[in-house]
Structure 1
Amino acid sequence: MRRVLGRKPGRNPNTPLGALGLGAVAGIRSMTPPALLSRAASRGEIRNIRKTPFGFLASPRAATWLTVLAVGEISADKLPFSPDRISLPGLAGRLATGALVGAALYAADGRRGAAGGALGALSSLAASYLSFYLRNGAQERFGLPNPAGGVVEDAVALSLGLLSLRSTKG
């Protein structure tokens, strides 16, 4: 088979964008990207993921549990005692889920999962800090209550996550 512009045949050129986007979503809501990816994979929308070490994400049971965890996180985020996303435990979880979704997308596309994992984790790290400071700044400047800022973040996370997945479908 012939390579086109240094690209292996069959690879989706948008996979890095998908890993970056889902990684960024992990910085906003850590469980939303694995839930979205798992739901898409369980519907057969992520080609070849079943042939990778991340094939468990294609299970309808995994999709259900990850969705339950994502909804729980979305609800808990609005509570006044929720820890900051840039605290060590929260940041570690965001990096882990960013790495997971990035690696899974890369592996499903026949690429090196480690590269996708690094891309997803770095994107998650950047988005964690950016979204933290944006939300706090908006709350201070406009006097928004914490739950209102959280609802805006929920909408951004879901929209960016769905857009990122759409870009990876080939």
Structure 2
Amino acid sequence: MKTLGLAALCGVRSLGPPALLARSVQRGRVGGLDSPPFNRLGPAANALLILMAGEMLADKTSLVPARTSAGPAIGRALSGAFVGAAMFAADGRRGAPGAVSGGVSALAGLYAANRARKQAAKHLPDPLWGVLEDILVLLAGSTLTRKDAEQS
């Protein structure tokens, strides 16, 4: 379940889950990722965290295209696929099924978050809802990448 949850968060913020996973690898909370392409996650953690912060800031502007447009949707699916494959590999399983389930979960998260944001826009300013999404990604993502979290 944690794989699907973390990948679904890619639909909300494409860089959040990979950055939080990389930070957990860097801190020794997630092991089993010693082969390419996952073996670079730990060293890339700081760069990914900076990119995540940039994505969170950019989301509050009108410069970012709709998350459901083709480019952002494909990027979120690929991010979810990477997270899913990494989480499966960390558990000693083949990465391909994790990539498929991660990509599908990211798309499900994307459309659920988009629907929630549209509903929330009736009651909250859009940037405030964006901050709430950021908090969700940070809290849920950090929880899902802990060693003691429920297994995939």
SS of match in other structure, 1:49: coil
For residues 88 and 19 of structure 1, what CA distance do their matches in structure 2 show?
24
Instruction: Count how many residue pairs are aligned between Structure 1 and Structure 2.
Output: 149
Are 2:138 and 1:154 equivalent residues in the alignment? no
- TM-score, structure 2 length as denominator? 0.93
The equivalent of 1:113 in structure 2 is 95
8 Å contact from structure 2 (residues 29, 145) kept in 1? no
1:1-170 to 2 correspondence within 5 Å?
17-51=1-35, 53-59=37-43, 62-140=44-122, 142=123, 144-166=124-146, 167=149
For residues 168 and 121 of structure 1, what CA distance do their matches in structure 2 show?
20
C-alpha offsets along residues 29-58 of structure 1, whole Å, 9 cap, x if unaligned?
000011000010011111121245411112
Q: Which amino acid aligns with 2:107?
A: L
8 Å contact from structure 1 (residues 51, 108) kept in 2? no
Percent of aligned pairs sharing the same letter: 43
Greater helix content: 1
For residues 40 and 130 of structure 1, what CA distance do their matches in structure 2 show?
26
For residues 50 and 41 of structure 1, what CA distance do their matches in structure 2 show?
10
SS of match in other structure, 1:50: coil
In structure 1, the gaps of 5 or more residues are 1-16
- TM-score, structure 1 length as denominator? 0.83
C-alpha offsets along residues 95-133 of structure 1, whole Å, 9 cap, x if unaligned?
011010110111121101011111111110001011011
Q: Which amino acid aligns with 1:79?
A: T
In structure 2, the gaps of 5 or more residues are none
